A and B are shown apart, each in its own frame.
Chain A
Amino acid sequence: MAKVTYIEFSGKPHTVDVLIGTSVMRGAVDNGVPGIDGDCGGECACATCHVYVDPAWLALTGSRTEMEQSMLSFAAGTEDNSRLSCQIAMSAALDGLVVKLPEGQH
């Protein structure tokens, strides 16, 4: 397990334990964090798990895949630190990760 803090658009934080080897999307869904839907179940097919990675963590979360880049290029409110959280694999190195959530996923 590693800790991830999800900050809702309203500013409300949720710090939860996420199983290592799963994804940052899965951690939110399994813990009932509002604001991440993950409609396609983590297939990078829907862009409903959009998050903004806290700049301090950008180097460790890696870069977007080509598929992810395409999906994000048409999502609302995409920023330089936007990621699809189903594509961020949870690892011990990400213990303490902070991500912010957009206003909506749809």
Chain B
Amino acid sequence: MSSDGVVIVGAGHAAGTLAAGLRQGGYTQPIRLIGAEPLPPYQRPPLSKAWLKGEADPAGLLLRPASFYAEHDIDLRLSTRVTGIDRAASRVRLDSGETLAYEHLVLATGSRLRRLEVPGIDSEGIFELRTEADAQALRARLGPGVRLAVVGGGYIGLEVAATARGLGAEVVVIEREQRLLARVASQPLSAFFADFHRAKGVTLMLAASVAGFATTAGKVTGVTLASGQTIDCDLALVGIGALANDALAIEAGLVCRDGVVVDEQALTSDPAIFAIGDCTQRPMPRYGRTVRLESVPNALEQARQVVARLCGKPMPAAEAPWFWSEQYELRLQIAGLSLDVATTVVRGDPASSRFAVFHLDAGNRLQALEAVNSPAEFAAARQWVTAGQIIEPARAADTALPVKQIVQSVSGAA
């Protein structure tokens, strides 16, 4: 018996993983994947790292080979946008005018970059980095001696700064807050990355607001700060955060609040509609609140929830959120969310570029851990955060103790 199957809006990391996961899970109904970009689902994380450096094979960016979708009876429609959802009729409308019926709809619309609304922002030479096309355009311009101004000291900005330095560019990072990674990392980690980037020759300008861009004949020549100072540059990259793509959901009357509100099975306020990935506001029972996360593991976890639901399989166990970044020879891995933190403990010496920052709540439960070149601490923390493990601060700080022995004396404590 055939149904209208699943229509997936978006063809990014979450969507591609979901489509493949449904077929692996034995789902036999139609699957339609609608993507605005011209490429089949691909990985975005390398765009600011190995791929931007030119080290990665372009085909390696794709989540699956382009032939995978037809081979698995997945109808992949690229360069196509969904322009509306008719919930009463269970249909979506495409920009071609065509409509598609669905039994289940999945919104995997991702996020879009926050726009910097200042004079000159549309000048030639100002880039953003979200898509493969963005990365291509930026990569074509980076090289030895090129002066790059990075607006925004978040992960994208810092990863591009590191990559650009590796390619011989001169780099200035301009950050509005008092420290790098202000919204997404702890103070010790921010300080470490600031020192590291400076040592690599990056100029950091903190607590600096951008007033506009200086231009000549429509081309960017500098970044003008609120202080009046101008930073000369040949190129600028703007990375100042992202917003949920929830316009379709809002227009369709789904409950949205900084993202499409979903439950622990990725279901929206309409039982026929799921939402997964960056566009969702999701419950995080471990922290007693809902959050909107921009990360690949988050998107994949929610894709697995939809697979379980539609294939009649057990719901996957909840996992601690996690994140990773690469800059120069540094690998940063973060487990958990730094919420309700009462105590912060640094294990190891940041000067060695190998250390971990433990974030404990008032009851010494591990809320989050930031690990620089410390995979054992990270791997342990993913389990400890999920379990709400209590950690004795002095033991966390004691590098003479192997990672596995940090919790031994306190297991079972209330």
| Contact surface of A with B, Cβ cutoff 8 Å | 22, 26, 29-30, 32, 34, 37, 39-41, 43-47, 67, 70-71, 73-75, 106
Contacts and interface: CB of A to CB of B under 8 A. Distances in A.
Interface string B48-64: 00000000000010011
A32 B65 contact: no
Contacts of A40: 45, 296-297, 324
Given A32-B23, A45-B324, A74-B383, A39 B64 contact: no
A75 B379 contact: yes
Contacts of B379: 47, 70-71, 73-75
Interface residues of chain B: helix, strand, loop or mixed (majority): helix
A88 B300 CA distance: 23
Interface in B216-234: none
A26 B319 CA distance: 24
Contact of A37 (B300, B317, B333): B300
Interface string B9-46: 00000000000100111000000000000000001011
Contacts of B324: 40, 43, 45
B331 interface: yes
B24 A39 contact: no
Contacts of B25: 34
A30 B64 contact: yes
Q: How large is the interface on B (under 10, 10 to 19, 20 to 34, 35 or more residues)?
A: 20 to 34
B68 A71 contact: no
A32 B24 contact: yes
A32 B20 contact: yes
A106 B319 contact: yes
Given A41-B46, A74-B382, A34 B297 contact: no
Given A40-B324, A41-B45, A34 B24 contact: yes
B395 to A, nearest CB: 17
Given A29-B64, A30-B64, A43-B326, 7 more contacts: A30-B65, A32-B20, A32-B64, A34-B25, A40-B45, A70-B376, A106-B304
In the A-B complex, the 10 residue pairs with the closest CB atoms? A70-B375, A74-B379, A70-B376, A34-B24, A45-B324, A41-B43, A71-B379, A67-B375, A39-B300, A74-B380
A51 B197 CA distance: 37
A42 B69 CA distance: 21
Nearest to B296: A39
A106 B64 contact: no
B376 A74 contact: yes
B316 interface: yes
B115 interface: no
Nearest to B379: A74
Contacts of B112: none
B317 A106 contact: yes
Task: Tell which of A39, A41, A47 has the most Cβ of chain B within 10 Å.
Answer: A41
B300 to A, nearest CB: 5
Task: Tell which of B296, B297, B375 has the most Cβ of chain A within 10 Å.
Answer: B375
B141 interface: no
Nearest to A76: B383
B297 A46 contact: yes
Contacts of B317: 106
20 contacts: A22-B60, A30-B64, A30-B65, A32-B20, A32-B23, A32-B72, A37-B300, A39-B297, A41-B45, A43-B326, A45-B324, A45-B333, A67-B331, A67-B375, A70-B375, A70-B376, A70-B379, A74-B376, A74-B379, A106-B304
